Chains A and B, each alone.
Chain A
Amino acid sequence: MFKAITITSIFVLDQDEALDFYVGKLGFEVHTDEDLGFMRWLEVSVPGDPGRSILLERPGPPAHDEATAEQVRELVTKGAGGGWIGLSTDDIHTTYEELRAKGVEFIDAPTERPYGTDCGLRDPFGNAIRINQPK
């Protein structure tokens, strides 16, 4: 049967901006960035964990007709894009301060929860990202 979840995808509105954010600010690394002609395959992963990556996919023709792509963009910017990312860290407070200094837009500050200490942020497009330091 299955062995692992290797790749998942979220929609981004602009792949250059996504690269700046996920790699430049959050510190992901580029797993694959390849112009396939029909699309730009942009895949990022957490350094040291190449087995699982995220495809930063741009909605648009011909995969989606323009009206559908517009609906997808609409939902992403409302925070209802359908995808979100959960990340773990071993030092949530430092991570929070460092990312805030880089201008990352946080939803909430690190808060103690039954399962750890976590905080949330949004990517430039509206996708939610949660960071947790597990107990």
Chain B
Amino acid sequence: MTSAAEDTNRRMLRARDAMDRAYAEPLDIPALARLAHVSEAHFIRTFRATFGETPHRYLQRRRVERSMRLLRETGRSVTDICLDVGFSSLGTFSRTFRDIVGESPTEFRRRAVGLPPVSAPSCFAMAWMRPSSFG
């Protein structure tokens, strides 16, 4: 019934949903490729063709988006938040955050404290507040 392309889309969507759900876990490309039932190289290429960015970049933005929420809404330390959202080193987190957001986590937190709270359901916040800039 469904064409090969539709079946592929659906499997890529399944992998993307897994990143949205399990961003805090040590997700790697081989695990996601297994979830999508494709080889690693094929997965990266196909995901990019489907959603316009590599899975790695999608996951980084998801993690940064979640960290922005925690910086905005909680008093947890930057180091705790870095680990909470799935980064394993503070250096990588800080560098990635700055690349994507254009300022450090601490600078963002200082600025965001004055912003109005997000009242949209979290699933919409996740879909619409994931930062789109990169570097």
Interface residues of chain A, those whose CB is within 8 Å of chain B, are 13-14, 17, 70, 73-74, 77-79, 105, 107-109, 111, 113-115, 118, 120, 122, 125-126, 128, 130
Contact between chains at A113 and B13 (CB < 8 Å): no
Contact between chains at B6 and A13 (CB < 8 Å): yes
A44, B131: Cα distance in complex, Å: 37
Closest chain B residue to A120 by CB distance?
A: B123
Beta-carbon contacts of B6-24 to A below 8 Å, as 1s and 0s? 1101101110110011000
Q: Which chain B residues (51-70) contact chain A, with CB distance < 8 Å?
A: 51
Contact between chains at B123 and A77 (CB < 8 Å): no
* Residues of the A chain whose Cβ atoms lie less than 8 Å from the Cβ of B1: 13-14, 17
B2 beta carbon closer than 8 Å to chain A: yes
Interface residues of chain B, those whose CB is within 8 Å of chain A, are 1-3, 5-7, 9-10, 12-14, 16-17, 20-21, 50-51, 119, 121-123
Contact between chains at A79 and B16 (CB < 8 Å): yes
Task: Assess A111 versus B3: contact at CB under 8 Å? Given A77-B13, A79-B16.
Answer: no
A125, B122: Cα distance in complex, Å: 23
Contact between chains at B17 and A122 (CB < 8 Å): yes
- Contact check: which of A13, A118, A126, A130 meets B13 at CB < 8 Å? A126
* Residues of the A chain whose Cβ atoms lie less than 8 Å from the Cβ of B21: 107-109
- Contact check: which of A78, A105, A111 meets B122 at CB < 8 Å? A111
* Residues of the A chain whose Cβ atoms lie less than 8 Å from the Cβ of B16: 79
A70-B3, A74-B5, A79-B17 given; name 6 further pairs at CB < 8 Å: A73-B3, A78-B50, A107-B20, A108-B21, A111-B122, A118-B121
